[in-house]
Chains A and B, each alone.
Chain A
């Protein structure tokens, strides 16, 4: 790390930050609706986004700064195992192709703002909807915190924040400012702010990746040399475990882990609240389907990005904290001004998802906790107000999380978040296709999956600590696999068995407010309005 502050890089970084901030505030006027005081407007951008805006929004949302730092960092640490992010983002699109259009249709028809809204309408159970809302919020919070970690990594490498010896206030001041600004424009512009900023973010990211993937290998003597150096580094023994540090190809005993991590992560990706928020903000079914065919461009980028992990090894980047490997590689390799561009890409790459995630978590809180349990007669204006305040609280919470707890806590929770989100699949995805499961059975399955997943993850040592590993032996199969997927299988079994039992006992079934045709409705169909009237914000619910 160079001594002191990298002035040129910092100036470029600040320039982009100011541009983006201005855009964030101006976004409030973009496609402004006449009546903007409701959740459809603030929390879903008026449900008006077309194919390209949705593409940028989802791309900006799913491929976060943390992804950009963590995926190459995983490759840097262990090699092939970290590459599962690529098959994961390949199979997620054919998967969501089958169910997201149905979610869009039913949500549009009934004015659902969150996935829990749908579950309540479908199964007539506020308890189930609450369980899923809490799961979503819990899984999102550490994810927001990790975006902050991404910004921190960049600031650290730039030498901003006064180094290790400065007092905590000076050290964290830049982060506080960045987040304060983010909170302010999210509050005033809602989902329109990240949607607009996503254009800048993605343009920067694409430029940086393309330059990096061409420029750095040339400097390092080509891919052949990069991979032979990386292969040698992975073969060396890790003194802590007595095993090789990693490998260029997953060995026979690591393939189940690789496949189950890819599958489980693919299933979870679009059930995160921030994904659902971005999906529901699009204006038609086909916008979503078209997006499943253009979003993989980001997966390709992710694959190229993963290559940077090998380059960091070949370039001899030595960092104690793996998260700093890529920012450090950039600073070592690029001229200062382009380092600034690259860091701006990562920094803005953190702001976009952080904004969407906080909006998504706020919507869940407002619709499925506040309105369902605390104030059933909340007007659409009141809902929007509560949601705005909740988005501030969520961000403050994430900030406190990062500033007071060790970074690994956020990473552990994010890992748990993935396991937890998977446990919402039976009610959410299952519910889109069938009404057969009983609401209490779904709740029981969720509880079992959550408990099992959390317990197993805690009991499993990871590469760096005694707890919070993500793969362990799968019962009956005897191979190591993703704990989240095992928990999900258990969840499904419980749902099936309990449904049979509850139906035999004639347990009272909840009311289903949806009709089969709602799941295929599209904008422009008879009875489906392209623009939702504000009244639908008070959707038909269980009250």
Chain B
């Protein structure tokens, strides 16, 4: 779900960093929330799966005659796409929340 407003530190940090009033960290938002960690995990999992070559370097079980090595990696195209979609939804909701709160906070552009 999107950010509930009971994260006041997240909100202030986002506001300040968005306005550039204070020299804050430029790396995203310093406050990590559960959805953000999930999004990060979704983006990280394909790296582990694909770079761990030994986990899939074998011929069987074959699928319609295609060795495991090949169909498994093609399957991961779909899996990693789904994971990226999840990350996208989470990140977009968060950005919308931050934006709404900033407008509600009466910032002038």
Give A residues with C-beta under 8 Å from B. Answer: 80, 83, 86-87, 89-91, 93-95, 97-98, 222-227, 248-252, 255, 258-259, 262-263, 286, 289-290, 292-293, 296, 299-300, 303-304, 306-307, 433-435, 515-517, 519-520, 522, 525-527
- Across the interface, do B84 and A97 meet the contact criterion of CB distance under 8 Å? yes
- Across the interface, do B64 and A223 meet the contact criterion of CB distance under 8 Å? yes
- Across the interface, do B57 and A91 meet the contact criterion of CB distance under 8 Å? no
- Across the interface, do B81 and A296 meet the contact criterion of CB distance under 8 Å? yes
B79-95 CB contacts (< 8 Å) to partner A: 80-81, 83-85, 87-88, 91-92, 95
Q: Which 7 A-B pairs have the closest CB atoms?
A: A526-B109, A223-B65, A224-B65, A87-B50, A94-B43, A255-B53, A515-B20
Task: Determine how close the nearest CB of chain B comes to the CB of A469; give it in whole angstroms.
Answer: 19
Contact residues in B for A252 (Cβ distance below 8 Å): 54
Contact residues in A for B64 (Cβ distance below 8 Å): 222-224
Q: Which residue of B lies closest to A300 (CB)?
A: B77
Contact residues in B for A303 (Cβ distance below 8 Å): 70, 73-74, 77
Asked if B67 is at the interface of the complex by the 8 Å CB criterion, the answer is: yes
CA distance A516 to B69 in the complex (A): 44
- Across the interface, do B80 and A296 meet the contact criterion of CB distance under 8 Å? yes
- Digitize B24-45: 1 where CB-to-A-CB distance is under 8 Å, 0 elsewhere: 1011000000000000001110
CA distance A422 to B99 in the complex (A): 35
CA distance A306 to B74 in the complex (A): 11
CA distance A226 to B62 in the complex (A): 13
CA distance A527 to B80 in the complex (A): 35
Contact residues in B for A525 (Cβ distance below 8 Å): 99, 109
CA distance A335 to B58 in the complex (A): 36
- Across the interface, do B73 and A263 meet the contact criterion of CB distance under 8 Å? no
Give B residues with C-beta under 8 Å from A. Answer: 17-20, 23-24, 26-27, 42-44, 46-47, 50-54, 57-59, 62, 64-67, 69-70, 73-74, 76-78, 80-81, 83-85, 87-88, 91-92, 95, 99, 107-109
CA distance A293 to B42 in the complex (A): 12
Q: Name the prevailing secondary structure of the A interface residues.
A: helix
Task: Determine how close the nearest CB of chain A comes to the CB of B30; give it in whole angstroms.
Answer: 12
Q: Which residue of B lies closest to A298 (CB)?
A: B77
* Interchain CB contact (< 8 A) of B74 among A86, A94, A434: A86
Task: Determine how close the nearest CB of chain A comes to the CB of B91; give it in whole angstroms.
Answer: 7
Contact residues in A for B59 (Cβ distance below 8 Å): 248-249
Q: Which residue of A lies closest to B22 (CB)?
A: A516
- Across the interface, do A249 and B69 meet the contact criterion of CB distance under 8 Å? yes
CA distance A516 to B29 in the complex (A): 11
Listed A/B pairs (22) with beta-carbon separation below 8 Å: A86-B73, A86-B74, A87-B51, A91-B50, A223-B64, A227-B62, A227-B66, A249-B57, A249-B67, A249-B69, A250-B53, A250-B57, A250-B69, A263-B47, A296-B81, A300-B74, A433-B26, A434-B27, A516-B17, A516-B20, A516-B26, A517-B19
- Across the interface, do A98 and B53 meet the contact criterion of CB distance under 8 Å? no
Q: Which residue of A lies closest to B45 (CB)?
A: A94
CA distance A262 to B52 in the complex (A): 11
- Asked, given contacts A87-B50, A299-B77, A527-B109, whether A517 binds B20 with beta carbons under 8 Å apart, the answer is yes
Contact residues in B for A250 (Cβ distance below 8 Å): 53, 57, 69
CA distance A299 to B73 in the complex (A): 10
Q: Assuming A296-B84, A517-B20, what are 18 further A-B pairs, CB within 8 angstroms?
A: A86-B77, A94-B47, A94-B87, A95-B43, A97-B43, A97-B88, A98-B43, A224-B62, A227-B62, A248-B67, A251-B57, A255-B53, A259-B51, A286-B92, A306-B70, A519-B26, A520-B18, A527-B109
